[in-house]
Amino acid sequence: MIRSMTGFARREARGEFGVLVWELRSVNHRYLEMSLRLPEELRALETECRESIAGGLKRGKLDGQLRFEPALAAEKVLKVDEARARAVAEAAARVAKILHQSAPIDPVDVLRWPGVVEVPPLDVAAVGAAALKLLQETLKDLMAARAREGERTAAVLQDRARQITAIVTALRGHQHDMQTRLREKLKARVAELGVQLDPQRLEQEVVLQVQRLDVAEELDRLQSHLTEFGSSLKGGEAVGRRLDFLMQEFNREANTLGSKSQDAAVTQQVVDLKVLIEQMREQVQNIE
C-alpha cells in the first residue's frame, strides 16, 4: 500500500504534570525534512523525537509542535519565600519614598514577583516520557492519514493507467494498418504528380517508411512500464522515487511516439497520452 506525503494529526494528553499537545503536519518533499518546535523545558527531547519520526516516515517535509501547559499547584497553601517577599516589600517602600508616593504596597503584586511563591520543580523525566509516548501515538495517526490519502491517490493512478493501456492498444491497431495507409498515400501522391512509378520501387519506399515510423518498440516499452507501475503500486515500501522515475520513462516514450506520428488520429491519441502521463506525474510527486 502506498502512502501520501500529505497529512495532519493532533493528540492531547493530560496528567498530574499538566497538558501536552502534539501537532504534526507533513507535505511532499524530495527527502525527509523535519522542523520541530518544543517548549524550553523539554528542548532536550528533540534528538529522540527526530529519531522516532525518522523510524516511521521516509520522505516528506514535516512540521511538528509540542505544547506544554504545567499543572497549577495542587497545594491549598502556597509556599512563600518570606525572606524574599520581605525584601521585595522593603525595596518597593524605598522606591515609593524616593518618588514621594504613599500608596500602600499591594501584597498580590509582591506575590507576582519571581521567586516569592515557591513553584515545585518540574519532573522533567516523567513529562518527557509522556511527551515521547504521545509523539508515537500522534505519529501513528499521521501515518494512517497519509495511508488514507495514498489509497485515494492510488485509485486515481490506476484509473489513468487503464486509460493509457487503452491508448497503447489502439495505437497497436493503427500500426497494423500503417503499411496499407502508406501505400495508398504514396499512390495518391504519384497520381497527383502524373508520373509512372515502378511497383517494386513503390513497395521499397513503403517498407522504408514503415521502418522509419514503426513504434512497436515504444509501445512494448510503454506496456512494460505499465506492468512495472502496477506492481510498484502494490508494494509495501516507499515507492515514490521509483514511480517518479517510471513517469520519466513514460514521458520519453510518449515524446518518441509523437515525433513518429504521421496521422492526425494517432497524433490526437499521443496528445491524450501525454495529458494522462502529466496527470499521473503530478499525483506521483506526493507519494512517499
In the chain, what percentage of residues exceed pLDDT 90?
53
Sign of the CA dihedral 113, 118, 121, 127?
Answer: negative
Q: What pLDDT does residue 77 have? A: 56
Confidence of residue 33 (pLDDT cuts 50, 70, 90): very high
State whether 14 and 130 are in the same domain: yes
State whether 160 and 141 are in the same domain: no
pLDDT, tens only, 60-119: 999 999 999 988 654 455 677 778 888 888 888 887 778 777 777 778 777 777 877 766
Q: What pLDDT does residue 206 have? A: 62
Q: What pLDDT does residue 119 have? A: 66
Give the whole-angstrom CA distance, residue 142 versus residue 18: 24
State whether 166 and 272 are in the same domain: yes
State whether 160 and 267 are in the same domain: yes
Specify if 44 maps to a domain.
yes
1 near 236, Cβ under 8 Å? yes
State whether 139 and 180 are in the same domain: no
154 near 2, Cβ under 8 Å? yes
Specify if 1 maps to a domain.
no
Closest CA to 28 of 2, 55, 4: 4
Confidence of residue 178 (pLDDT cuts 50, 70, 90): low
User: Average of pLDDT values for 204-218?
Assistant: 70
- The grid coordinates listed for 106 are 499591594
Give the whole-angstrom CA distance, residue 227 versus residue 74: 65
Specify if 27 maps to a domain.
yes
State whether 212 and 84 are in the same domain: no
Confidence of residue 209 (pLDDT cuts 50, 70, 90): low
Sign of the CA dihedral 88, 93, 99, 103?
Answer: positive
Q: What pLDDT does residue 189 have? A: 73
Full domain range(s) for residue 101: 74-119
pLDDT, tens only, 251-274: 999 998 888 777 777 889 999 999
CATH number at residue 67: 3.30.230.10
217 near 236, Cβ under 8 Å? no
Specify if 110 maps to a domain.
yes
Specify if 81 maps to a domain.
yes
State whether 41 and 78 are in the same domain: no
Sign of the CA dihedral 151, 153, 157, 160?
Answer: positive
State whether 111 and 152 are in the same domain: no
Q: What are the CA-CA distances from residue 18 to residues 21, 27, 79, 90, 131 (Å)?
A: 10, 31, 19, 35, 11
Number of domains in the chain: 3
Question: Which of 25-39, 86-100, 199-213 is predicted with the least confidence, judged by mean pLDDT?
Answer: 199-213
Give the whole-angstrom CA distance, residue 276 versus residue 96: 79
E strands in the chain: 7-15, 18-27, 32-37, 60-70
